[in-house]
Structure 1
């Protein structure tokens, strides 16, 4: 199953590399785009859940890496105002 890494910049300038076990993330984020924190959270939660379900459909179990990445993003978004922006720097 093809995987993807997406690099983001949080509102405080911190950059982070994130993992998706599926290229479905390309359907939800675009490199160079800025998203409100609340929108970014919904987009990544949706994409990572879909990715984990794709892994489950193929292998019989959810991708724990996708679930862990979604949990890390959820913890991070709690630190910011929902109206601040997260920038997707790249997706590979």
Structure 2
């Protein structure tokens, strides 16, 4: 399966490189776009769960790396819960 990284910019300007075992992230996020925090979390959750399910269909087990990445994204997002109009930007995709 083609792996990829997607780089995001958090509301405080910090960036993070995120892992996906599938290119499905491109179906849910777009480079150059910014998303409201909850919208970003929903999109990332859908993309990474879908990617994990693709791994499961192919190899018989869910992708712990994808689910772990989602947990890290969710934990990072908690820092910005109190930030009004917090937005997350998608900086680039790396295949």
Give the alignment's TM-score, normalised by structure 2: 0.93
Question: Which runs of 4 or more aligned residues in structure 1 lie more than 4 Å from their structure 2 counterparts after TM superposition?
Answer: none
Shift, 1:11, TM fit: 0.2
* Equivalent residue number for residue 53 of structure 1: 53
> Which 5+ residue runs of structure 1 have no aligned equivalent?
none
Which string of whole-angstrom CA distances, capped at 9 and with x for unpartnered residues, describes residues 56-90 of structure 1?
00000001100000000011111113731000000
Please report the RMSD computed on the Cα atoms of aligned residues, expressed in angstroms.
1.0
* Equivalent residue number for residue 15 of structure 1: 15
> Which 5+ residue runs of structure 2 have no aligned equivalent?
none
d(CA) in 1 for partners of 2:27, 2:48: 11
d(CA) in 2 for partners of 1:42, 1:79: 17
Aligned residue pairs: how many? 92
